Amino acid sequence: MDGDRELLHKLLDGELPPEEAAALMERMNAEPLLREEFDLLGRAVSLLENSGRKAAPLSFTPEVMRALPEGTKESLPRTSRGRLPSRNDWKGFRDFFFRERMVRWNMAAALATVFLAVVILGGVLSYRKDMQSPYSNSSGSAVTARFKFYSPDAKRVSIAGDFNKWNIDEGTMKRRGKGTWTIEIPLTPGAYNYMFVVDGDVWVTDPEAEAYRDDGFGYKNSVVRVNSL
Amino acid sequence: MHTDEYTIIKECADGNKEAYAVLVERYQDMIYNTAYRMLGDGEAARDMAQECFISAYNSLKYFKCDSKFSTWLYSIAINKCRDYLRCRRPHVQLDGISEIMACSGPTPDEELHNKQVQDRIQAALNALPESYREAVVLKHIEGLDYKEMEGILGVDAGALKVRTHRGREMLKRLLKEDSLDGRG
């Protein structure tokens, strides 16, 4: 029987030559015990193969990203007290103000960012009323949320969400660097669903979103929360 | 391997942390599922899968681009699971399976029944020796061939076939129809 078992496993793995497979199948027709062995094995394999993959929790990717160590490009150069900044130091200052960032709206980060955004942008917006975004409303102070998406092969990336009535034409993102797409959107406090749209027709959930919400169609929307001061 | 993968890996190795999110999103289900099937515990699987991605990120500069990124991730995940199991509880004995598998009877609710079947499949996997479970999970749940399994587990295909065959024999007994119908 051990020899037969080995043949049955080879048959399951598709490793028996056709003529040997045919001979074994013929034997199974004549030998019910052999057939039963094969059926039980096949059933166990079928149960495993149909059990499917367990999906990772929705917050899996953001949690991993938060746990990663800071990369060398993210770190800022330090200037010693009493020494004039060198050319590299100026690069550091420039990087500090203009380098790409992803805003994560947990409470602490949101409060800090909202404070900075209001101080810096509040004055600017008060002088330039014509910069008022269609996404903001008069019920609260708008703060700037910066969205970022990495897609080196994309020709065009947009953001669509509650804040622009899911109109991808109103959320065209700008390509920066080798494949990072960004957009800044003034938003009043609240929670907003959104997704990125690659090349006009591929809808992608933000892998770095703070939270996710089912959209009722089998997909998950990214969620950004903007808190008031 | 996705055509953009080498580009993304290069970006990550150069310090662009954001690019790594694409890889995590792409492979999170594959790694989480492997860890879940190996450990039989959602929380532990989440921790091990996350540790896998963090270790991979820290070691990206050592990744050889002539191999598949998914193969490399699998091998890290399997090693994490082995370490976890080594430090954790003793192996579930075969005798324990009957209690798990008979814990609830049949139900007209199809969804609940499917969950029970899933639980019993996982309980049966938990009862296998680790080396058999690794082989069976990669072969029949992740759908890999023996050649790729060789690269992940560092064991030659002949030995992996033996482990898979023995694992299947044990599962055949554990997953007999009467126990799945709630009578066993």
Of A49, A55, A74, the CB nearest to B140: A49
Contact between A53 and B176 using a beta-carbon 8 Å cutoff = no
Tokens 């680790």 correspond to B130
CB contact under 8 A, B29 and A56: yes
Taking contacts as CB-CB distances below 8 angstroms, the residues of chain B near A56 are 28-29, 31-33, 46, 49
Residue count of chain A: 229
Considering only the beta carbons, identify the residue of B11, B57, B118 that sits closest to A51.
B118
Mean pLDDT, residues A52-73 taken together: 83
Q: Chain A residue closest to B5 (CA)?
A: A152
| Chain A interface, best mutation among B137, B141, B168, by max A CB count within 10 A | B168
The sign of the CA dihedral B49, B54, B59, B64 is: positive
> What's the CATH code, domain A103-226?
2.60.40.10
Q: Which residue of A has its CA nearest to B37?
A: A54
CA A121 distance to own-chain centroid: 28
Domains and CATH numbers, chain B: 5-87 (1.10.1740.10), 94-180 (1.10.10.10)
Q: Smallest CA–CA separation between A163 and chain B, in Å?
A: 24
pLDDT tens, position by position, B50-80: 999 999 998 887 887 778 899 999 999 999 9
Judging contacts by C-beta atoms under 8 Å, the chain A residues touching residue B113 are: none
> Does pLDDT of B181 surpass 80?
no
- Of the pLDDT bands very low, low, confident and very high (cuts 50, 70, 90), residue A151 is confident
What is the predicted ipTM? Answer: 0.81
Q: Give the rounded distance of the alpha carbon of B59 from its chain centre.
A: 21
The answer for residues whose C-beta is within 8 angstroms of residue A109's C-beta and 6 or more apart is A103
The confidence score (pLDDT) of residue A72 equals 44
Write out pLDDT tens, residues A21-36. 999 999 999 999 999 9
Contacts of B30 in chain A (CB under 8 A): 53
Distance, in angstroms, between B145 CA and closest chain A CA? 9
Angle between helices A60-67 and B20-39 (to 10 degrees): 110
The pLDDT value recorded for residue B3 is 60
- Which of B75, B11, B80 is closest to B51 using CA atoms? B80
- Which residue of B16, B32, B54 is in closest CB contact with A60? B32
Q: Which residues pair with A181 in a beta bridge?
A: A149, A175
- Which segments of chain A belong to CATH 2.60.40.10? 103-226
Contact residues, chain A, for B58 at CB < 8 Å: 69
3-state secondary structure (DSSP) of residue B148: helix
Least confident piece of the model among A45-49, A224-228, B53-57, B153-157:
A224-228
* pLDDT over 90 percentage in chain B: 58
**A 205-224 near B (Cβ less than 8 A):** 205, 207-208
Query: What is the pTM assigned to this prediction?
Result: 0.59
Provide mean pLDDT across the span B105-132. 83
Residues 18 through 57 of chain B touching chain A, CB cutoff 8 Å: 18-22, 24-25, 28-33, 36-37, 42, 45-46, 49-50, 53-54, 57
Does A54 contact B29 at a Cβ distance shorter than 8 Å? yes
CA-derived radius of gyration, chain A: 29
Residue A133, φ and ψ in degrees, nearest 5: -85, 150
Query: In the predicted model, is pLDDT for residue B106 greater than 90?
Result: no
- Which pLDDT band, with edges at 50, 70 and 90, does A113 fall under? very low
Which long-range contacts does A154-158 make (Cβ < 8 Å, 24+ apart)? A154/A179, A154/A181, A154/A198, A154/A199, A155/A199, A156/A198, A156/A199, A156/A200, A157/A181, A157/A196, A157/A197, A157/A198, A157/A199, A158/A196, A158/A197, A158/A200
Q: Which residues of A touch B14 (CB under 8 A)?
A: 73
